[in-house]
Amino acid sequence: MSKRPEWLDNAVFYEIYPQSFKDTDGDGIGNINGITEKLPYIKELGCTAIWINPCFESPFGDAGYDVSDYCKVAPRYGTNDDLVNLFHEAHRLGLHVLLDLVPGHTSWEHPWFKESMKAERNEFTDRYIWTDSIWEEPAGYGSLRGISDRDGSCAVNFFTHQPALNYGFYKPDRPWQQSMDSAGAIATREALKDIMRFWLSRGCDGFRVDMAGSLVKNDENGRGTIALWQNIRAFLEKEFPEAAMVSEWGEPYQSLAGGFHMDFLLHFGTSHYNDLFRCEKPFFEGNGDASEFVAKYTDSYGRSKGKGLICIPSGNHDMDRLARHIHGDNQKLAFAFLLSMPGAPYIYYGDEIGMNYVEGLTSVEGGYGRTGSRSPMQWDDSVNAGFSTAPADQLYIPMDPDPNRPTVQAQLGDKASLLNEIKKLISLRQANKPLQSLGKIEFICNGAAGKPLAYTRSLNGELIFVAINPGGDSAEISINGTFKEVIYRFGTGADLHDKKCIIHAGSAVFVTLS
Ligand code: GLC
């Protein structure tokens, strides 16, 4: 098992999309100093760490996931010094900061790619995946063709303007496919370490890694990519043993074997995560079915136990806002779940006040349908909800036009708000170790159609029972153990009997057990 920074044991993360969080210089787009200014808010919420989406130099064809200089903060966000200052301020408040590392591809404007396009051999010829003839495309990947003097097609990783970096092929089967231990693949891997070194030595606490599971091509069950990350893990262990790593991978048994400390449940792939939050009948909207999620989670948990954390996000910059699918008090029940599960929870900025998905927006910077989940943070009732003093038509993304849009200021003043409920839930988690990252989970009721979710969390002999019932009928749950104290109740709660809990409709309870 990789050595885990101790602070992950009770970490609660807050994801920040830097464009849309807080603009302190009035140009309509958020910046690093804006994030620094709002760190006390994040601390007050109870979060212990932040993940900032890419904030590096980029032509912004994919909102910064198309990097053109990994070691330079994009001027629109500020300077490297501003980011280092953010690290210091965060640390002063006891918060940790993860940057977003995009290892799979660069922008086609990256100087490496410009060199790689040249016909004459140079240091960057093998930095990307090229076929050896323009007439051959890299099967299974999109490609860039006819754009260079170099004869060949270059594989792309995501959008067309994101050429794929070369970490080698697990089993090369064409002459142009390089092996993982070819000089070109190794040079790419070492360049990645240099980028990590650059930011870790300046005070960053680790990375969220973009598309971490797809670096080695023609891979077999992730074996090549796992080996690549194990190599990087050895480097971290030697030079930056305190660095925290979370992967966008979605198969914890693979990513944790690669040396990541945490892996996300993803909104695509096999997790059934969105059976709970975003589908035709989401479980937390009261009429869905969580059983396939529970089955997959239990399987992943069993296969990865002890090796690291499975992290469940409230949302992120790639999926619909939670509030598009889960309404009213059901959002509180969703957070009762998110904040009582193992692993480190991730709260997407604005989800804590139930920000809406803004409908009907034109795509901004490659956002397409994701743009509506990336609108500016709503702080208060001042101009542009306190996000920016720029004229409304100069904002990065328009504000939610809803006159009743939620704001931090209004919710702080309302005892019954989502924000205050989340603060309560986080402080309960911080006060009860079984609810934190490492407490063991055992499901008692799997949320099959019409049924609640119920589980126990336990650590060092302490046991907490959790029941959440977004459904319309009360439900009976049998338990082994004796109820001691109700430490959290939402809605009308539950009737507790000997070895039996009747959880009311639209309610949640956390109860200590002996
Ligand atoms: C990840 C990011 C997403 C980006 C893509 C390509 O999935 O979260 O926003 O577009 O990778 O880098």
Q: Which ligand 1 atom is nearest residue 105's CA?
A: 12
In this predicted structure, what is the pLDDT of residue 253?
Answer: 94
Q: Which ligand 1 atom is nearest residue 62's CA?
A: 10
CA distance 313 to 307: 19
In this predicted structure, what is the pLDDT of residue 4?
Answer: 86
pLDDT in tens, 9-24: 999 999 999 999 999 9
Q: Are residues 444 and 414 part of one domain?
A: no
- Residue 212, ligand 1, Cβ within 6 A: no
In this predicted structure, what is the pLDDT of residue 437?
Answer: 97
Q: Are residues 283 and 135 part of one domain?
A: no
Q: Which ligand 1 atom is nearest residue 157's CA?
A: 6
Does residue 37 lie in a domain region?
yes
The answer to whether residues 247 and 226 touch, using CB atoms and an 8 Å cutoff, is no
The amino acid that residue 196 corresponds to is: M
Ligand 1 pocket test target in 318, 363, 365, 373 with most atoms within 8 Å of CB: 318
Q: Which ligand 1 atom is nearest residue 65's CA?
A: 12
Ligand 1 pocket test target in 53, 211, 371 with most atoms within 8 Å of CB: 211
- Residue 210, ligand 1, Cβ within 6 A: yes
Strand residue runs (E) in 322-411: 346-348
CA distance 369 to 372: 7
pLDDT in tens, 31-65: 999 999 999 999 999 999 999 999 999 999 999 99
Phi and psi torsions of 70, nearest 5°:
-70, -20
Q: Are residues 197 and 212 part of one domain?
A: yes
The amino acid that residue 329 corresponds to is: D
CATH number of domain containing 159: 3.90.400.10
Cα(363) to centroid of ligand 1, in Å? Answer: 15
CA distance 90 to 41: 11
Distances in Å between the alpha carbon of 217 and those of 139, 145, 195, 220? 11, 19, 22, 9
Q: Which residues span the domain enclosing 155?
A: 105-164
Q: Which of 129, 164, 199 is the last residue of a domain?
A: 164
**Count of structural domains, the chain:** 3
- Residue 102, ligand 1, Cβ within 6 A: yes
- Residue 318, ligand 1, Cβ within 6 A: yes
- Residue 100, ligand 1, Cβ within 6 A: no
- Residue 51, ligand 1, Cβ within 6 A: no
Q: Are residues 74 and 14 part of one domain?
A: yes
Q: Which of 428, 451, 481 is the last residue of a domain?
A: 428
Cα(513) to centroid of ligand 1, in Å? Answer: 42
The answer to whether residues 98 and 90 touch, using CB atoms and an 8 Å cutoff, is no
Does residue 127 lie in a domain region?
yes
The 8-class DSSP code of residue 504 comes to: P
Cα(512) to centroid of ligand 1, in Å? Answer: 40
Q: What radius of gyration do the chain's Cα atoms show? A: 23
What are the b/e assignments for 19-47, b being 16+ CB within 10 Å?
bbbbbbeeebbbbbbbbbebbebbeebbb
In this predicted structure, what is the pLDDT of residue 306?
Answer: 79
Does residue 392 lie in a domain region?
yes
Q: Are residues 212 and 268 part of one domain?
A: yes
Q: Are residues 199 and 307 part of one domain?
A: yes
Q: Which of 402, 428, 454 is the last residue of a domain?
A: 428
Q: Which ligand 1 atom is nearest residue 316's CA?
A: 8
- Residue 267, ligand 1, Cβ within 6 A: no
Q: Are residues 215 and 299 part of one domain?
A: yes
Does residue 178 lie in a domain region?
no
Cα(65) to centroid of ligand 1, in Å? Answer: 6
Q: Are residues 474 and 337 part of one domain?
A: no
For atom 3 of ligand 1, the residue with the nearest CA is 318
CATH number of domain containing 479: 2.60.40.1180
CATH number of domain containing 231: 3.20.20.80
For atom 2 of ligand 1, the residue with the nearest CA is 210
DSSP string of 404-429?
T---HHHHHT-TTSHHHHHHHHHHHH
Q: Are residues 278 and 424 part of one domain?
A: yes
Does residue 435 lie in a domain region?
no
CA distance 443 to 456: 7
Q: Are residues 212 and 65 part of one domain?
A: yes
In this predicted structure, what is the pLDDT of residue 3?
Answer: 77
Instruction: Please work out, in degrees rounded to the nearest 5, the angle formed at the alpha carbon of residue 313 by the alpha carbons of 235 and 229.
Output: 20
Q: Are residues 247 and 365 part of one domain?
A: yes
Q: Are residues 391 and 507 part of one domain?
A: no
The pLDDT averaged over each successive group of 10 residues in the chain (514 residues) is 87 99 98 99 98 99 98 98 99 98 98 98 98 96 96 98 98 97 98 99 98 97 98 98 97 96 93 97 96 97 91 98 98 98 98 98 98 98 98 98 98 98 98 98 96 98 98 95 97 96 98 96
Q: Which residue has the tokens 């949640």?
A: 508
Question: CB within 8 A of 375, min separation 6: which ones?
Answer: 20, 355, 358, 361, 397, 398, 399, 400
- Residue 62, ligand 1, Cβ within 6 A: yes
